[in-house]
Amino acid sequence: MFEFESPGNLILGLLTGIGFGFLLQKGRAAKYQTILGQLLLKDCTVFKIMLTAILTGAVGVYAMHETGAAFLDIWPFQPAAMLIGALLFGIGIAVIGYCPGTGMAASGEGSRDAMVGIVGMITGAVVFVAGHDAFEPLALALGDWRKITIPELLDLSPWVVIAVLALIVPTLLWFIADPKERQREAARPRAGMGAVMKADAFVTRDFR
């Protein structure tokens, strides 16, 4: 017997999904060229979005968990299943140029290649569900390491890990920023002062 979420949770999920898709579209993460640029290490837009999402998600999830507004549904750590899934995911994103989230957003924009990818994702999900029992021994080839989180593994408070993450993420974002963009940002105050000096010289010469 299937159990479904309450109508309120379903509506909340729908609204959250719409917001997520909107932000993906505005951030150009649903563009094939952006994904391709990330794979070629020429455009780190997707990587920046993922880093920001990891940090804000960690803060939001643990804050809601402590207030009782959400619960942690942690999946067991199964190394073989993770490696196989990562391999299939990598092949899929390299072939079609979209991940599931960006694929849905691009499909909503009208990208036909993304629509083909969505059909492939659904087909893969059906095959996985139909053959789950046959795939399970392969997924557990390296064992089941139970439900464990990084804070539990390190025997630390989740907020200590989040605090360290809050230091690492901005550093990585600065490090992967376009050097030309950093140069432009650094030069803006000097350019502004130069413009003021030129304007002052022009006004002085004009009044003379």
Over residues 30-67, the pLDDT tens digits come to: 888 888 888 888 888 888 888 998 999 899 999 998 88
- Confidence (pTM): 0.69
d(CA 154, CA 46): 29
Give the ranges where the chain is alpha helix by DSSP (H). 7-26, 32-39, 45-67, 79-96, 100-109, 112-130, 132-139, 150-154, 158-175, 179-207
d(CA 178, CA 43): 9
Q: What is the mean pLDDT of residues 23-34?
A: 84
Length of the chain: 208
The pLDDT value given to residue 93: 87
Residue whose pair of structure tokens reads 């780190």 in the numeric block = 44
Q: Is the pLDDT of residue 160 over 90?
A: yes
